[in-house]
């Protein structure tokens, strides 16, 4: 049977020439599937890169694993303090969004790569000022597709509205975006085509989805020896 890895160059010719990344997955022990199994499945779905919190720099044949450090904090001072531990040039540093003032301050901190979980923050927590700062400083905003898959009704609708607002700001300011499945099982992973369809629900164009899937490659270039997942 033809795999997504074989189909990707036909369906997404632009993606076949650049990084195609799921910007956050959670293998065992946080999830219930091993890192190797999730990496192999991601490859079958057309990805060549996955971002994994607290991983080491690894590769599975055809898939690069980029380690990430997720910072959850209520104060900017705490974020700054924790950043000193992750300033190794190898980890993608992701900070969970908060209220508007917090987000503006975080976007001005050197060493932050991604602002994530924005759909969980209060309305207006990411405004045109945040958008401009993110664009100027090359910091990405993550789109987490998991609530579009695992929620329904008013909860899902609220997420769609928040993402639609984000895309309107993106269309104006052109800051980086990433897309993550936040999968905790191989069953939660989605193909690039699925992601394009899900993102279309809140008005994101296919070209912008392709660009977002390639963003991780522009944010960090891990150095050092690479190990193979066994």
Residue 108 backbone dihedrals phi, psi, to 5 degrees: -100, 0
Question: Looking at residue 30, which CATH number applies to its domain?
Answer: 3.20.20.140
Report pLDDT digits (tens) over 23-66: 999 999 999 999 999 999 999 999 999 999 988 666 678 899 99
Q: What gap in Å lies between CA 186 and CA 152, rounded to an integer?
A: 21
* Global confidence as pTM: 0.86
Q: Which pLDDT score is estimated for 224?
A: 38
Domain limits for position 35: 4-228
pLDDT at 68: 93
Cα 204 to Cα 187: distance, rounded to the nearest angstrom:
24
User: Distance between CA atoms of 31 and 20, rounded to whole angstroms?
Assistant: 22
Whole-number pLDDT of residue 1: 40
Average pLDDT for 82-88: 77
Q: What is the mean pLDDT of the chain?
A: 87
Domain count, the chain: 1
Question: Do the beta carbons of residue 124 and residue 102 sit within 8 Å?
Answer: no
Give the residue with greater pLDDT, 7 vs 103: 103
Nearest to 21 by CA among 42, 49, 59: 49
């Amino acid at each position: 049977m033809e795999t997504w890895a074989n189909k990707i160059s036909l369906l997404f010719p632009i993606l076949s020439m650049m990084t195609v990344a799921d910007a956050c997955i959670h293998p065992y022990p946080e999830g219930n599937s091993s890192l190797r199994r999730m990496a192999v499945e991601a490859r079958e779905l057309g990805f060549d890169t996955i971002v994994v919190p607290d991983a080491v720099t690894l590769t599975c044949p055809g898939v690069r694993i980029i380690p990430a450090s997720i910072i959850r904090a209520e104060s900017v001072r705490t974020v700054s303090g924790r950043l000193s531990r992750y300033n190794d040039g190898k980890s993608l540093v992701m900070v969970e969004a908060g209220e508007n003032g917090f987000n503006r301050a975080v976007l001005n901190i050197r060493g932050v790569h991604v602002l994530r979980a924005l759909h969980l923050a209060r309305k207006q927590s990411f405004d045109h000022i945040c958008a401009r700062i993110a664009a100027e400083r090359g910091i990405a905003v993550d789109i987490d597709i998991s609530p579009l898959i695992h929620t329904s009704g008013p909860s899902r609708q609220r997420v769609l509205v928040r993402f639609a607002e984000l895309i309107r700001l993106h269309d104006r300011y052109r800051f980086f975006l990433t897309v993550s499945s936040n999968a905790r099982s191989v069953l939660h992973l989605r193909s690039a085509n699925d992601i394009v369809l899900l993102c279309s629900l809140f008005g994101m164009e296919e070209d912008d989805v392709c660009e977002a899937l390639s963003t991780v490659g522009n944010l960090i270039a891990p150095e050092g020896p690479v190990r193979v997942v066994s």
